[in-house]
Amino acid sequence: MSNYARFLRQLHQTESSLPILTIQAALAHHLANVQPLPTSLVATAITSKLFSHPFTLPTLQALQTAFRHALHLKYALVDNTRFAGLGIFAPSVESRLNEWVGDVMKGLQGGHAVMRLAAGTGVLLGLEDMQEEKKLEVYCRGKLEDEVVIALAEAMDLYKYEADAAGTVEWEKEFQRDDTEVSTLALCLLLSSQSLPLVSRKKLGALPLGDISKLLTSCVVSAFLDGKFLEEPHALALAKTKIFFNSIASLSKLQSLVLTLILESRSMDGVSVAASSLSDLRWVCARVEGNMWKMVSDSSSTEAWQVLKTLLFSCVMITEAALSASLYIPPNTYASSDLGSMPATLALCTLEMLDHLSFVVHQFGGVTSMGTPSEDGSAGGVFKEMRRTFYLALDILASGASDPPEAFVKNLCGRVLVGSSGSTAGPFPRQDKLHLAKISYTLACVEQLIPALSKETVSGEVWSVVGPHLYLPETAADVESLRETYEAAHSVLLAFFASNANTKGDGIEFVVRLVPFYVQCLIENSHDKKLSTLQLCMAFSALVRSACASAISQTDVQEAQAERPERYTLGWFCIAELVDAARKEREEGRLHRLRMALVSCVSAVPLVLLGEVLAEVKRVMRSVETQSETMPRPSEAKKGKRARATEDRDSDATSISKGPKPLTQKQELVHALYREVIEQVGDREKEYVVQWWYDNLELLGRDLEQGDGQGEASIEKWLDVECHS
């Protein structure tokens, strides 16, 4: 008896003594080598009880892999013998493979839908391999895609009761099959999760996408044990052995594709389907958050961390696709619908998901981190897709109805305040790692949504969260862990002041009360290892600009046009406090930061105050020039004249190899002032500043020395251009 006959006998048996992998390899070999046609063998394989009684993932995957490998073997056989006999008149490799695939499809006719799906997806994956590796195009691929779509549709029709049960609530699952069993439709989705994205979108539109989305969501939720994988010690091991977890990447990718298709083709139904899917994922994340403290307290939590990262990746992949597709839905499509059918609902679910996983998000640098640029120019160490999803959700939420941003921010702030109070009702103790991550995420959301919030919310819930984090403790052992919330709190206030300066209306009373406090806050935070020079300059500039804008808002437009200095008392108060602090300061580093902050305010004041501010800048320049002439640098104060001369000779000899010299404090101030004039000062004020600079040319210098080795820029040439323009 030949090997082929023995193999056929094995296929006709209900059980086999051979391992399933042996059956898989033998089937792939004979499919590629059987003569004259593989049609009859295909028909025998898809009706074999070895693969179908009962349906299990290992046996169906073995059948799928056998057809996939058979295509590779057939290509190798055809490629090696393509010139045998007929020479140059032999059929091409593409033609012979096309003929073989057509014969395989004939053998699939009349078979069970699940078996046809397994075999068809295997051949389709093989064709994709050929296209990627060998650049081969098989003409009958379109017909094969049709067969895969039809087989999946028939399977969903056969097992429709399983699709209806996919959305059952948890208490109903107690009366269903054991959790270790997998439904037939779930097996179909696992088999087709890698191949369906290869099918044209137009053909996929014929499938019941809503039911498929419901089933895929159920599979993803099951992969993470409904969010219970951190509750019990054995649950984590069970989560990693689940067949859904091992296929979570392909399932998430397919779900993102399905949501995109249904949102593009049936917008109204698509938003409802997507909202249901994202709501289930949000529920899983909320359940995980309730037990995340166990992972933080356990030092051996590597496996738990891997599962949490996988959950975050899956959520980001699905939500990004849903949000991106919802952007193109016309507003009139959902204008008359309820709130649950709006894109803002999808954005809200996404942001709440990230809130529940804020500790995991924090491990990737947070949602606002730009990362460290790598050699190829990309941002290293940053989950770019997560950042894109975060900002996309915020944009959709802010551009929708006015209520969702307010409610969302109040809910976030409320949860943070409960945790900060130290109450046992709160989910986190004060200054816990989880709580700090949640505060950072809350502040990041608030910063972006400031323009959409009312003054009551900003002065109430938002200020209650921001206020306690505006100062960095001096003696805390974990200062670095508090820095993110510290900088995020200041970013929120900068966003508020910038928004107030642009709107010139709402929230003026709160600005008037906040400005005196925040001026002193910034001055106190000008010490070393607090706010950086750039952060301090940005904060003072935004503060002064908002204070001056509030003066215009409180006066009549005609009175504001009079440009009387007394109208800008609040803005000048900020300048005066900054100047007074600089005059009293003796520590050189902090003094320089305060002076840089003063220079940054040049572009923030109106024309009527510009002369006074520039007068203070001129006094600072003279003071710095005097200090540089009479005092040695701090690092040189303890060195003798001979030692300094030796160092100067050594530095001159190695100046070429070491690059350009660092800028002096005066040069830094001049550079900062130059950037303010060029980039920030308005057209009305620029004429005044240019004339002032021309009058003080000897003090400021005629050439602008570059700190990056680019030579010198002529100040006189720039002034001539500005004066004649």
Whether residue 91 lies inside any domain: the answer is: yes
Residue with tokens 């409802």: 272
pTM attached to this predicted model: 0.84
SS3 content of the chain, % helix, strand, coil (to 5): 75, 0, 25
Whether residue 77 lies inside any domain: the answer is: yes
Pair type for strands 372-373 and 712-714:
unpaired
Beta bridge partners of 460: none
Whether residue 584 lies inside any domain: the answer is: no
* Residue 416 buriedness (CB in 10 A; 0-12 / 13-18 / 19+): buried
Q: What's the confidence (pLDDT) of residue 505?
A: 54
Find the domain containing 42 and state its range. Answer: 3-165
What is the DSSP secondary-structure string of 665-719?
HHHHHHHHHHHIIIIIS-HHHHHHHHHHHHHTHHHH-SEEE-TTS--EEEHHHHH
* Strand residues in 562-640 grouped as ranges (E): none
Quote the CA–CA distance of 281 and 287 in Å, as a whole number: 10
Quote the CA–CA distance of 420 and 436 in Å, as a whole number: 10
Whether residue 22 lies inside any domain: the answer is: yes
For residue 336, give Cα distances in angstroms to 149, 600, 611: 35, 49, 56
Whether residue 88 lies inside any domain: the answer is: yes
Whether residue 99 lies inside any domain: the answer is: yes
Give Cβ neighbours of residue 187 (< 8 Å, ≥ 6 apart).
55, 56, 57, 60, 114
Q: What's the confidence (pLDDT) of residue 173?
A: 47
Beta bridge partners of 712: 705
Supply 672's token pair: 């900062």
C-alpha dihedral (45, 50, 54, 58), degrees to nearest 10: -90
Splitting the chain (725 residues) into consecutive groups of 10 residues, what average pLDDT does each group show? 83 86 94 91 93 89 96 89 62 87 93 95 94 84 94 91 59 46 86 94 93 94 89 68 88 96 88 94 93 71 86 96 91 63 88 94 84 48 86 89 80 84 43 85 94 89 93 71 89 90 66 91 92 93 89 54 73 93 91 94 91 92 72 46 48 47 82 88 86 86 54 58 61
Residue with tokens 């996939």: 68
Number of domains in the chain: 1
Whether the CB-CB separation of 404 and 346 falls below 8 Å is answered with: no
Whether residue 105 lies inside any domain: the answer is: yes
> Could you give the 3-state DSSP secondary structure of residue 19?
coil
Looking at residue 710, its amino acid is Q
Whether residue 57 lies inside any domain: the answer is: yes
What are phi and psi for residue 714, nearest 5 degrees? Answer: -80, 115
Biggest distance spanned by C-alpha atoms of the chain: 109
Query: What's the distance, CA 575 to chain centroid?
Result: 39
Whether the CB-CB separation of 121 and 161 falls below 8 Å is answered with: no
HEC string of 416-434 equals HHHHHCCCCCCCCCCCCHH
Q: What's the confidence (pLDDT) of residue 541?
A: 94
Q: What's the confidence (pLDDT) of residue 180?
A: 46
User: What number of residues does the chain have?
Assistant: 725
Query: What's the distance, CA 430 to chain centroid?
Result: 27
